[in-house]
Amino acid sequence: MKSHWLIASAAATLLFAGQASAALDMAAGSDLAKKSGCFACHNVEQKRVGPSWNDISTKYKADAGAKAALVEWIKKGGTGRWQMGVMPAYSPRVSDADIEQLADFIVSLKK
């Protein structure tokens, strides 16, 4: 009987730890985006000058190469993909490591 309680306790602990970790990931991703200047044109939930990150994540949810495509887009910038404003190149102003983390953050928003 004790083993059932231990298993239930461990499962509850992992569940709450996962929820806390997700909140930290969202906070860390938002902080990095703010520091990098992304929120001047983007928002997680609403279109601004550029598309919302939820829209981007939804568009690429079935694409295995989504992260790599986003990394290149963030690094080089461009126009025409969303029929909105021009995406400026963020490399080298934002480090490659930070760009990778930003792409991970955006892809993680998949619903």
CA–CA dist 69, 84 (Å, integer)? 18
pLDDT at residue 15, rounded to an integer: 39
Per residue of the chain (111 residues), give pLDDT as tens: 554 443 434 444 333 344 444 444 888 988 999 999 999 999 999 998 899 999 999 988 889 999 999 999 999 998 877 888 789 999 899 999 999 999 999 998 876
Could you tell me if 102 and 74 are in contact, meaning their C-beta atoms sit under 8 angstroms apart?
yes
| Domain regions of the chain by residue span | 2-108
Query: In angstroms, rounded to a whole number, what is the distance separating the alpha carbons of residues 30 and 36?
Result: 10
Q: How far apart are CA 46 and CA 34, in angstroms?
A: 16
Superfamily covering domain 2-108: Cytochrome c-like domain (1.10.760.10)
pTM listed for this prediction: 0.72
